[in-house]
Amino acid sequence: MARTTDDAFASQGESGLISPLEGITVVSVEQAVAAPLCTARLADAGARVIKIERPEGDFARYYDTVAGGESSYFVWLNRGKESVTLDLAQAQARETLVSLIGQADILVQNLKPGAFERLGFPIEVLRARHPRLICCSISGYGDQGPYAHRKAYDLLIQAESGLCSITGGPAEASRVGVSIVDIATGGAAYSAILEALIARGRSGAGADIRVSMFDVIAEWLTVPLLHADSGDHPRRIGLAHPSIAPYGVFPTRDGRALLISIQNDNEWIALCNGVLERPELAVDARFATNVRRVQLRGETDALVTQTLGSLDATDLIERLSKAEIAFAEVNDLHGLSRHPHLRRISVETSSGAVSIPAPPAIVDGSARRLGSVPSIGEHTASVLQALSGSRRE
């Protein structure tokens, strides 16, 4: 049962580390990626997350089987949650959900447009009944406007928003290689919920949060949109930067590829002097500013390629490091798997342990312990039994 005060933020978990959301209860009617990512972050921070699944389970359970027989998406996004299966087409299941929501601090849902209301759960009614409840509804296009009724998935929004038009190489548009719209939306929902929890600690009132995938990625596209509005529509240029030069991949003599980034004019001077060993370019008016280098991108890149292509990667890395020029190797996912900076953490599933990248935040030098990934309906009996007991009290 949720606490009636917000002192849960100072609670301490079993490991002795601070669990900032210990004592906070989340009920999430969720599927796929955006909402599960949001609630995974809440669970990582110590919240109790009760995941409501249809009897056949969240369809993300069946995207693939690469995580030791489990879905990679589901393992990543559902650690530390309790799975409760409810057939919300049935009146008794809906009554159960009403009772669970009544004991929750936070409600998250990302059903298709209008579905949650048609099931008998208008957010306005829930908030009137539970003034401290924080509700977060995630949709494709929001509640208003001509597309509000549309179902939406990650790649559809990538295409509709114009993100694909600036992604890829010159020949054709491309999908971003991860579910970036879903991920961005889940992060935005998580941030908004944390803000609402802070506000509730001051006012005692919950909140009605609405987050749309289209709004989230449109805001992320502010810079290229402003360029397009000015008449300078961004072009797809692969592994290069549309607004900065030189910033791209340069081959070395021994066949490796380094991505080099020059962020400002002082770094250009350092590159010319310490890496290219051509100090005359540092004072050449044609390349003195980033604006001019972008205008002369072909000539700029050719000058850089001429020197860098004559060096082996080891020598080039030494020069770049001494000159304090930012660079990276162009890896594939096998490179990430072997990368010396990759932090991993193990999560338990019904099929065994799976090693995944660790959550990015390190608080007070310690990583949080992650909960296990639930099987379908694993906690239905225990949650409903506890709910029945609370009703009798």
In the chain, where are the structural domains located? 7-221+343-392, 247-329
Work out the mean pLDDT of the chain and round it to a whole number.
Answer: 90
Judged against a pLDDT cut of 60, whether residue 299 lies above it is answered with yes
Residue 11 confidence (pLDDT): 38
Give catalytic residues, as residue numbers.
241
Q: What is the pLDDT of residues 246-295, one digit of tens each?
A: 999 999 999 999 999 999 999 999 999 999 999 999 899 999 999 999 99
Which residue in the block uniquely carries the two structure tokens 């995630």? Answer: 138
Give the separation between CA 66 and CA 51, rounded to whole angstroms: 23
The set of residues, in sequence order, having a beta carbon less than 8 Å from that of 268 and lying 6+ positions away, is: 262, 282, 287, 288, 290, 293
Q: What CATH class does 247-329 carry?
A: alpha beta
Residue 4 confidence (pLDDT): 40
Residue 322 confidence (pLDDT): 94
Please tell me the pTM assigned to this model.
0.86
Give the separation between CA 358 and CA 142, rounded to whole angstroms: 32
The long-range contacts involving 167-175, CB below 8 angstroms and separated by at least 24 positions, are 167/236, 168/236, 168/238, 169/236, 169/237, 169/238, 170/235, 170/236, 170/237, 170/238, 173/236, 174/236
Judged against a pLDDT cut of 50, whether residue 12 lies above it is answered with no
Which residue in the block uniquely carries the two structure tokens 């990625």? Answer: 217
Task: Kindly report the backbone phi and psi dihedral angles of residue 131, in degrees, each rounded to the nearest multiple of 5, phi listed first.
Answer: -60, -25
Q: What is the pLDDT of residues 62-72, one digit of tens each?
A: 999 999 999 99
**CA geometry: angle at 369 spanning 107 and 40, to 5°?**
25
Residue 326 confidence (pLDDT): 94
Give the separation between CA 102 and CA 2, rounded to whole angstroms: 9
Residue 337 confidence (pLDDT): 93
Residue 1 confidence (pLDDT): 40
Q: Tell me what the mean pLDDT of segment 203-214 comes to.
A: 96
Cβ atoms 258, 316 nearer than 8 A? yes
Q: What CATH class does 7-221+343-392 carry?
A: alpha beta
Percentage of residues in the chain having pLDDT higher than 70:
94
Q: What is the pLDDT of residues 17-48, one digit of tens each?
A: 568 999 999 999 999 999 999 999 999 999 99
Q: What is the pLDDT of residues 75-86, one digit of tens each?
A: 999 999 999 999
